[in-house]
Chains A and B, each alone.
Chain A
Amino acid sequence: MTRLHQFAFFDEGSKKEIRRTILKAISIPGYQVPFSSREMPIARGWGTGGLQVTLAIIGQEDVLKVIDQGSDESVNAVNIKKLVEKTTGVTITEKTAEATIIQSRHRIPEQTLTEGQVLVLQVPAPEPLRSVEKSERQTKILHAEEEYSGAWLQLFEQIMKYGQTNTGADHPVYVAGRYVMAPSPIPRFDNHKMNHSEALILLGAGREKKIYAVPPYTDVRSLAFEDYPFTVESFATEACHLCGATDTYLDEIIDADKDKVYYQCNDSHHCLERVNGVIEGKGDISYA
């Protein structure tokens, strides 16, 4: 078989450069390392940052899973999988436990990741201070001097306006007690999964040309005031209508015909595994 491209799309020089960036990012947890983001055959803003990271680290032995908003089958996830499969020939999987590399947008899988796995998150907006400081030069100085009043101020404003912090997603975190980091638009529900994660977490922003990382077993704390503790999305007493889960992140689905609202696991693969009895969790329904 003749390949149209190099293994993993990039030439070796490009991969080397991205890997060097990744190594630096791992050495300084939470610090955004600039890199020369490349043109990709998918549009910027559609996961090119994550994709470049994945392509730079992937080897023939790797097994890849790609998810978008919790689903393995969304168009965006499928496109990325196709590209990687075509240029590397690696095995693609939907099973979280089986994957060595998991590229994701908007979610961290429900099933706890383990040592040796790498989670690659796609990041649209890597700078947690951007909405209070427009200049990149200034935000660089603020990070260098660990001056994070701006990040706290945004949370304070939300409390003043809404009575609580209402970061829908991307709630800022303190990494290793030093850098404040945007965890990418994952729900707050997923923030704690970063704390002391056994898996290496790499975050790539293609348009903004930044790579940053949370090495395994790193302290990751969500920003919260003393009298307004960090809270995650709550689904009250709801459970997944398919697998019965009460400990997962649920999507609200509105059935217009029946004028009914029901809930369903956002992580579709995890839900399926529970229905099939492959994995267990809180609220399991017995189909026996």
Chain B
Amino acid sequence: MHDEPILKIQRLEKVFGRGCSHCQHEDTRQLEKNFCPYCGTVYACRNISFELFPGEILGIVGESGSGKSTLMQCLYFDETATGGEMFINHEDFKGKNIFALSNQQKRNVRNHILGMVYQNPTKGLKMNFSSIGNIAEKLIAAGNRHVGEMERVGMELLDKVHIPLFRMKEEPKRFSGGMQQRVQIAKALSNYPPILFLDEVTTGLDLSVQASVLDLIKTIQREMGISMIVVSHDLAVIRMLADRTMVMLNGEVIEAGLTDQVLEDPQDAYTQQLVYSLL
């Protein structure tokens, strides 16, 4: 690709725990899967580097516990990365390591440049507030103070994700799982973020509902040109959505490339096992 990456991650690391003499040094540490058997410290994300290009969908696939959600949460600042750098190609933040900014500045990045759809809708939505209110929350956080305008944007987006407008004042707790995910998507899109993170958006949904949500994501990506990172342990989802794919295992990226290549001709032994067992 000729474009500059819109997002660039270098050597991201997320460690839960303090470490011990056995695991402090990267070269000598002997982990069991992703944790140190001596002190129990979890190395949830290790040495993760990648780039995301404008308008691209990057897939992340990996088994349960491989660190996918932790990575997303570090990128959205729900968790603090314990190492590494994050760069965003945006005039306000050129050349600045976003991880090193103050919490207030990170909030600013999140409110204006990023959107997130959580694996669990209760994390992304206030279940006791109206659906339109949930969308407005993100707009308010981005500085909007005009009710009429927020209502207009909210209605437009609810319509786009196929929530009937006569239900816009209902609370998401009264909606089905698929509808809740669609409200989450509408909320994440409300500030027209150039970058959107989607963590297992279709997990737990009926197959037919899954298909409609995936369709929606594809349409949004085409129409709005948003760059996305799509996390899933479902290869079918990755195959349908992602241009490029990274495979994670025990907190590390073990293989990355064009989705077709990774899925048709995997190089790493683990990826081969993953792909062939599912075919």
Please list the residues of chain A having a beta carbon within 8 angstroms of any beta carbon in chain B.
132, 141, 145-147, 149, 152-153, 156-157, 159-161, 225-228
Contacts and interface: CB of A to CB of B under 8 A. Distances in A.
B133 A156 contact: yes
A225 B140 CA distance: 10
A112 to B, nearest CB: 30
> 10 nearest interchain CB pairs?
A149-B141, A152-B140, A149-B140, A226-B146, A225-B147, A157-B133, A145-B104, A153-B137, A156-B136, A226-B145
Contact of A153 (B129, B148, B169): B129
B158 to A, nearest CB: 13
A225 B145 contact: yes
B82 interface: no
A153 B133 contact: yes
Given A153-B129, A156-B136, A225 B146 contact: yes
A147 B146 CA distance: 18
Interface of B: 103-104, 107, 126, 129-130, 132-133, 136-137, 140-141, 145-148, 150-151, 169
Contacts of B136: 153, 156
Given A149-B137, A149-B141, A152-B145, A132 B126 contact: yes
B126 A156 contact: no
A153 B130 CA distance: 10
27 contacts: A132-B126, A147-B104, A147-B107, A147-B141, A149-B137, A149-B140, A149-B141, A152-B140, A153-B129, A153-B137, A153-B140, A156-B133, A156-B140, A156-B147, A156-B150, A157-B129, A159-B147, A160-B132, A161-B169, A225-B146, A225-B147, A226-B145, A226-B147, A227-B146, A227-B147, A227-B148, A228-B147
A228 B150 CA distance: 13
B103 A145 contact: yes
A146 B132 contact: no
Interface of B is mostly: helix
Contacts of A145: 103-104, 107
A198 to B, nearest CB: 30
A253 B141 CA distance: 43
A157 to B, nearest CB: 5
Contacts of B151: 160
Contacts of B107: 145, 147
Contacts of A228: 147
B133 A160 contact: yes
Contacts of A147: 104, 107, 141
Given A156-B147, A160-B169, A227-B148, 16 more contacts: A132-B126, A149-B140, A149-B141, A152-B145, A153-B129, A153-B133, A153-B137, A153-B140, A156-B133, A156-B140, A157-B130, A157-B133, A161-B130, A161-B169, A227-B146, A227-B147
